[in-house]
Structure 1
Amino acid sequence: MKKLWFQLHWFVGITAGTVLMVIGLSGAVLAFREQILDALNPGVRNVAVQNTPVLTPQEFMTAARALKPHERVTSIILYDTPGSSARIGLAPAPGVRKGETIYLNPYNAALLPELAGEDFFEWVEQLHRFLLLPRDPGKVVSGTLAFCLMGLALSGLYLRWPRRVWDWRTWLTFDVRMKGRSFLWGLHSVAGTWVMVVFLVFTASGVYWAFDPIRDMADGWMGTLRPPREAAAAKPKAPQPPKAEAADLNPSWETFQKNAPNWHMAFLRPPERASQPMQILWVAKDAPHVRARSSMSINLQTGALLKSELYADKPAGARFQSVIYPLHLGTYFGISGQIIVFIAALALPGFGITGWMLYLNRRKQKRIARAERAQFAASASAATQDAPILMAYASQTGQAERLALQSAAALQKAGVAVHVQSLEQLTPPQLGQYRRALFVASSFGEGEPPDSARRFSRLLQGAKEELKHMQYAVLALGDRNYAEFCGFGRTLDQRLALLGAQPLHPMIEVDNGDAGALARWGSALREMMGGTADVTLSAAADDSDYATWHLAGHKLLNPGSVGFPLYEITLTGDVGAGWRPGALVDIWPGHYGKDATPRRYSLASIPQDGSMQLVVRQVGLASGWLTAQAATGDAVRVRLIANPSFDAAAQTAPAIYIGNGSGIAGLRSHLRARVLEGATRNWLIFGERQREHDAICAEEIHGWRSSGFLPELDLVYSRDAEGGGYVQNRLRERADAVHAWLNDGAVIFVCGSLQGMAGGVDEALAAIIGREQLAQLAEQGRYRRDVY
């Protein structure tokens, strides 16, 4: 479950989270809207205090009619604060939602200047509330995003739930001396805890305002349910009595002042007709918040008090409803609440940025681990010993896997037989088959096993196997800034010893890739090799074996797409060494220097093309440099990487190619090779967003189709009404054809994101042919994936 919630958390975070950054920034701008407007407009909403009486509402009404003779006054807002201007609301023009507000001098009713900056804040409010969309669809979008933020907050709480629940330091502090991913994770999780309550207030109020059914249901619970909108719209209009334009407001105002001596703000609504009462909403000086409004209804002609309702006498539900808006703005707690809301709103972009950094770092570590795995597989030689050593790893970000592969490669080079396996696939009975086992184990969170090792850890805790015949060693990876340093490694070491296994040497703990600790592990490996060679291990990726190519050009493949830009990059250089279809390439973003991390891409071309082509999504440092910053002719450092697990199938075998987005790169190299060889039994299933903007390599694909090299072609566009859906859905729809092709010996190639398309394709194939048969296809080399 935790792995599922983690995947949901990052997926929502890098999709909806990007738009939530905009909502957060706009919310921060609006947090001090009133204070900023007052600072920009001295002498408008507040004027110099004079030693003369403030005018009455009737005098303001008379002045407003003289200034705006063709417009109706709909509201008069007065404050008892000395020097506070009168705010006069005018009826909106036909088809306009909101009317004009003018400000009058409280001592002489002179018209004051327009409020500068108000239009800007109105625009920001529309962005914040509706993302500049029409009101109704904008409400739905913003409400959906509020749900997403609620999910991010709650799933984040679940994912960081510590062992020491009652230790407040674990919840609210982290060591700022941390570096790299540890610092980002600490900042992301702890800051999220700090603003958790504020975010839940944001989301609950946002959902309440966005969805009318939810608002009606909540209003019903609070006893403040409004009349149905349809009934109000359909209600016939009664004959209208004479207009109240010439009515005197003084009797009503005298009645109000007599019955509300402690008023601070009064909101008067002059009626349209003489027979209608004057409605006054008002806030007392000692009110708990700005929306704690009492109300009066007064006979306009006689000044008789018809109805008075104090805020304190309102039902609890109505009082709670009035709190929603001040809580959302933070004004419920005064200026300190506004500061808190401002900081929390600004934190939303911070979470988006740190979340993206953590996501890209995780992807980078996985790419590095895949490279090490490919290099290990490519250099594997026949073992010379009868009893192999098990090299098992538990990795969260790929570092443990990389070190395990480096260790295994060193042992294998010395003639020591090694079986490399992830703890994700290992069971205690399988472990018991080995006489020597080496473990490279990282820890996650507060000393917990990585997600991939949770099952093995649980099985090992309940195991009854005797391991007295086995010798073992543990290389534990961790970060001393965490209280449970190398927690999983220590737990693993203790459990193995309890089951009777004998340590080859004491457990070695590595703090953030410490070179000294890795050197000790290398010495231990050298002893197993008979002391014949030095072993050098590094937690960082190797940057050797690079060649210089040159950028020949880049072409935007998806103009107008709602997704990130996708470019075809062409590099020229020495193609003499060649590469196989499905090969990979490391690109070093040259101008960032030796401290950058290389980015790995699938090759979209074959050597016969005379150039190296990539399909690159403009995300990340290396991709941004390649697509936007590097100029034609610039040198590019390139390292070719063999990818035997995604190599081409035999020419005679049918081939099914499945992918989406930039995954077309690895598939295109295969298809170009098949066309060159004359192999015609090819089936391409490819997905993107919209046919109009995302028909990647469409001309080349349709050329293959018309030439007979793609007898089966399925192009799906998830956001189109026709041809919509996802790749995995199309697979299920074409289950009979999948069976037929597999019965003919077809090989399946999948290129794309493991947690996105590739994961869905895996589930679809398992549903079509069965999980066991799918595993058999993989063992036979007929299910090949280049996924990340």
Structure 2
Amino acid sequence: MTPFKKVLLFCHRWLGLISGLVVFIVSITGCIFCFQDEIQDAMYDYRHVEVQNKPYLKPSDLINIVAQKHPKASSDYIIYYGADRPAGVMANLGKEGLKYVYMNPYTGQVTHTDSPQTNFFIIVEYIHLYLLLPPAIGKWIVGVSVIIFMVIMVTGLILWWPKRKTDRKRSFTIKWGGRWRRVNYDLHNVLGFYATAIAMILAISGLAIAFEPVSRAIYNMANVGNGIKYEDEVTEPKSDSLKTSGIAKQPVVDIAFAHARQQSPNAEMFLIHNDPAVSGAIGVGAYPKSLHYAKATGLEFDKYNGRVLKSYIYDKKSPGLKLTEMNYDIHVGQIGGLTTKIIAFLASLICASLPITGFIIWLGKRKKNRSKTGKARVAVHHKTHRRAVQSV
């Protein structure tokens, strides 16, 4: 082995030992989260409603229904998930935390109330993002571990790549009939090779979700040469509380939702940001496909008179903004439907297995080296003893 590869092997081995536990936790939780929508759809009836030939209730109606049950709550987010799905309101109860209230969007009947603190998949998501640590700490531990894992994947690929073409066929397959240590070695190397490209995409998209500088870097790379600046395209407008002339005669949240539906008549899902504590405008996102967050059209409204302050029409967005808004769908594998979800699931499962198979390889080599050292000591002892006898 060349000195360069010895350095790579040292880095690969010890970086793996340092980050292995976090990589396993992040990968296995990501694996579980991939199909969370499908699993919850199968488990819970409230996630579907019967389609009715009548319009949705207005957002203000949903807010009033929540207020009857939780008078002190502020309805920060309202979501219409689709024609055959419920509407949801995220109610902020202050010190009591958050509640997700699900309703039939046609009748207003409350079908389910959920708390994020007890929802299994939200807990899995928080483990994936923060290891259940305070977000400011957990985010960095996960982020650094993911970056280390990316380095490990690259070094592993360089170390494993076969020199001769005749060795490639053997190197790209798992020898299932071999001894268990050989199978474990192949599982680590061969599966690691096949998962590398997808694992890199999942890692980068995850870092972009967690860290603004990474998302900004992706945005800038996709917009190279077109002169579009992030601040000019993405900066959200703010309502001016001093200019309250022409106050709307109906709730602005209703005006915003009606305008968004008119602007995007084919959208299946609408997300309304209605946080009264924020000085900015009321925002509405229109999404072509339910539970998918790519290809959205966004609108910002003055929260006093309902005037449109800014629009983010999908077809007019820059390539950078389109790409960064795809990060979530890419990260969970739903960007290309069921096929890409399965690919992301398998890649995450392989990534979870790599620290385990790698640790077994390291442990086996360590025992082997100890055995060789012990045999060498015995041989030296016998040789010394034999010389002592001969001298006598």
What TM-score bracket applies, with the shorter chain setting the length? 0.7 to 0.9
Displacement of 1:28: 1.7
The one-letter amino acid paired with 1:154 is V
Tell me the CA shift for residue 249 of structure 1.
4.7
Deviation for aligned residue 1:52: 4.9
Matches of 2:370 and 2:133 in 1, distance apart? 39
How has the CA–CA distance of structure 1 residues 181 and 324 changed in structure 2, closer, same or farther, with 3 Å as cutoff? same
Looking at structure 2, the residues matched to 52 and 282 of structure 1 have their Cα atoms a distance apart, in angstroms, of 20
2:264 aligned with 1:260: yes
CA distance in 2, matches of 1:64, 1:116: 14
Which residue does the alignment assign to 1:144?
144
TM-score, normalising length from structure 1? 0.43
Structure 1 match to 2:48: 46
What do residues 165-202 of structure 1 show as CA deviations (whole Å, max 9, x unaligned)? Answer: 69874563233222243322212100001110122123
2:332–2:341 CA contact under 8 A, matched in 1: yes
C-alpha change, 1:48 and 1:95, in structure 2 (3 Å) is closer
SS of 2:284's partner is: strand
* C-alpha separation in 1, matches of 2:313 and 2:173: 45
1:630 aligned partner: none
d(CA) in 1 for partners of 2:31 and 2:120? 14
Query: Which structure exhibits the higher relative contact order, with contacts defined as CA atoms closer than 8 Å and separated by 6 or more residues?
Result: 2
Distance 2:136 2:255 in 1: 42
Shift of 1:144: 0.8
Superposed, which structure 2 residues align to 1:126-165 within 5 Å?
Answer: 126-164=126-164
Q: 1:79 aligns with which of 78, 81, 100?
A: 81
| Aligned counterparts of 2:283 and 2:10: Cα–Cα separation in 1 | 54
Answer whether contact 1:174 1:187 (CA < 8 A) is retained.
yes
Deviation at 1:157, TM superposition (A): 0.2
Query: Which of 331, 338, 341 is the matching residue for 1:338?
Result: 341
Q: Secondary structure at the match of 2:47?
A: coil
Which residue is 1:374 aligned to?
377
3-state SS of 2:283 partner: strand
Which secondary structure state, in structure 1, belongs to the residue aligned with residue 88 of structure 2?
Answer: strand
Alpha carbons of 1:41 and 1:148: their partners in 2 closer, same or farther (altered >3 Å)? Answer: same
Q: Secondary structure at the match of 1:48?
A: coil
Residue 213 of structure 1 and its aligned partner are, at CA, apart by 4.6
Which of these residues, 3, 11, 15, is aligned with residue 8 of structure 1?
Answer: 11
- Once the two structures are TM-superposed, the CA of residue 314 in structure 1 deviates from its matched residue by 0.5
Q: Is the contact between residue 206 and residue 327 of structure 2 (CA under 8 Å) also seen in structure 1? A: no
Number of residue pairs matched by the alignment? 373
Does 2:173 correspond to 1:195?
Answer: no
2:102 corresponds to: 103
Change (3 A) 1:332 1:378: same
SS of corresponding position for 1:123: helix
Q: Is the 8 A contact 2:57 2:108 kept in 1?
A: yes
**Judging changes above 3 Å, is the alpha-carbon distance between structure 1 residues 369 and 271 closer, same or farther for their aligned structure 2 residues?**
closer
Change beyond 3 A, Cα 1:246–1:100: farther
Could you tell me which residue of structure 1 aligns to residue 182 of structure 2?
182
In structure 2, the CA distance between the partners of 1:209 and 1:367, relative to structure 1 (3 Å rule), is same
The 2-side partners of 1:166 and 1:95 are apart by: 65
SS of residue in 1 equivalent to 2:326: helix
User: What pairs with 1:181-260 in structure 2 (closer than 5 Å)?
Assistant: 181-221=181-221, 225=230, 247=251, 249-260=253-264
Contact 1:251 1:301 in 2 (8 A): no
The answer to whether the 8 Å contact 1:290/1:332 transfers is: no
* Alignment-mate amino acid for residue 105 of structure 2: P
Is contact 1:37–1:116 with CA below 8 Å preserved after alignment?
A: no
Q: List per-residue Cα deviations over 1:676-727 (Å, max 9, x = no partner).
A: xxxxxxxxxxxxxxxxxxxxxxxxxxxxxxxxxxxxxxxxxxxxxxxxxxxx
1:30 match: 33
Question: Residue 420 of structure 1 corresponds to which residue in structure 2?
Answer: none
Larger Rg: 1
- Larger % of strand: which? 1
Q: 2: CA distance between counterparts of 1:322 and 1:154?
A: 27
CA contact (8 A) 1:265 1:284 kept: yes
State percent identity of aligned pairs.
24
Please, what is the CA RMSD of the aligned residues? 3.7
Describe the SS at the equivalent of 2:271. Answer: strand
Structure 2 CA distance for partners of 1:301 and 1:168, relative to 1, 3 Å:
farther
Amino acid at match of 1:67: K
Instruction: Give the aligned residue type for 1:112.
Output: T
Unmatched tracts of structure 1, length 5 or more:
385-414, 416-788
Displacement of 1:154: 0.5
Q: State the 1:142 CA deviation.
A: 0.9
Q: Show CA shifts across 1:736-761 (max 9, x none).
A: xxxxxxxxxxxxxxxxxxxxxxxxxx
Shift of 1:380: 2.2
Distance in structure 2 (CA, Å) of the matches to 1:368 and 1:248? 76
> In the alignment, is the contact (CA less than 8 A) between 1:224 and 1:317 conserved in 2?
no
Q: Secondary structure at the match of 1:133?
A: coil
Structure 2 contact 76–274 (Cα < 8 Å) conserved: yes
Alignment correspondent of 1:89: 90
**Ranges in structure 2 where 5+ consecutive residues have no aligned partner:** none
Change (3 A) 1:358 1:245: farther
Per the alignment, residue 368 of structure 2 pairs with 365
For residues 194 and 247 of structure 1, do their structure 2 counterparts lie closer, same or farther at Cα, with a shift above 3 Å needed? Answer: same
Structure 2 distance, partners of 1:288, 1:126, is 19
How many Å apart are 1:318 and its aligned residue?
0.5
Bigger proportion of residues as helix: 2
Task: Kindly state the Cα deviation for residue 149 of structure 1 after the two structures are TM-superposed.
Answer: 0.7
Aligned residues of 1:146 and 1:202 also touching (Cα < 8 A): no
Q: CA deviation at 1:6?
A: 1.0
The whole-number CA distance in structure 2 between the counterparts of 1:302 and 1:254 is 14
